[in-house]
Structure 1
Amino acid sequence: MATHHHHHEHSGDKLIEEASAALTGAGEQWTAMREDVFRTLAAQERPASAYDIAEDVGKLRGKRVAANSVYRILDLFVRTNLANRIESANAYLVNTHPGCRHDCVFLICDDCGQADHFDDDKLTGALREAGKAHGFSQVSPVVELRGLCSDCAV
């Protein structure tokens, strides 16, 4: 049985406020560039690559933005729980509840690329324990389930 966290999914300006508060709460600065990257990521309908985000931020800013700069910001966002990395796609998804920390189980559609997530503490806890039993510490489970979403399966 999945353990469900009760958290509020934020959007729009409220999501930006929550993200800014979470980042500054982690001792980092909320800069204009970081805000542009976050806003661009939040506007994506599907997981986006750093190159896609760099291109969109470049258009927004009216000048070229290096993908390496975006990668560094995205890595910071993942470390501070503002974004999630979809490992199998090397793409990123905004975390719409940045104040809530848990291990997500991602569902990724092989047809349209849509990604969603759910929480299952029993599953991710078992993976943590298995890692610890094999001598690993600070285990961070990354679980991705690939298949067809309900829209593509019809």
Structure 2
Amino acid sequence: MGEAAKHHHHEHSGEKLVDAARNSLVESGEQWTGMREAVFAELARHERPASAYDIADNLGKARGKRVAANSIYRILDLFVANNLAMRVESANAYLANTHPGCAHDCIFMVCDECGEATHVDDDAVSQRIRGVAAESNFTARRPIIEIRGLCSACR
């Protein structure tokens, strides 16, 4: 991969990530509610992809009352649609987008041993995938590429 083909973003973390997500969602015309903030903050603290059930369980424990996974799924779907989160399809789990609002295709390397999912931005790969779709008279809305294998720690 040539260096020119890669995206470069300002990566946010901690409270700055939550602030960036809130700003991005509000700028898109959506509301930033207390529950949405709690879900995003919980998602952002995970280094590996988290399921809606993981998030619901953790929020339920923190709040002292059950949180329905269906509610979490709706919020996560909103986050994915607004580029605040990315869905790792093969794991039915989510990662916080560390550069909220930035639209790009998802390329994941997913470790079969430990579950780590590394997100990579590569415009050349994305453009080629979208080109293949266009050549087939198909409009690509949300290309996702997942490469399953072993991370460097598990090899």
TM-score bin (small chain): over 0.9
Which stretch shifts more, 102-111 or 17-26?
Answer: 102-111
Q: Structure 1, unaligned stretches of length 5 or more?
A: none
Corresponding residue number in structure 1 for 2:131: 129
Coordinate RMSD, CA, aligned? 1.1
1:143 correspondence with 2:108:
no
How many matched pairs?
153
Normalised TM-score (structure 1): 0.95
Q: Say if 1:132 and 1:139, in contact at 8 Å, map to a contact too.
A: no
Are the equivalent residues in 1 in contact too, given 2:7–2:123 (CA < 8 A)? no
Quick one: which amino acid aligns to residue 79 of structure 2? F
Which residue is 1:108 aligned to? 110
**What is the match of residue 86 of structure 1?**
88
Unpaired segments of 5 or more residues in structure 2?
none
Note the C-alpha offset of 1:138.
4.1
Runs of 4+ deviating beyond 3 Å:
none
1:6-17 equivalent positions in 2, closer than 5 A? 6-17=8-19
Higher alpha-carbon deviation: 31-40 or 120-129: 120-129
Q: Percent sequence identity over matched residues? A: 61
Counting only pairs closer than 5 Å after superposition, residues 31-110 of structure 1 correspond to structure 2 as 31-110=33-112
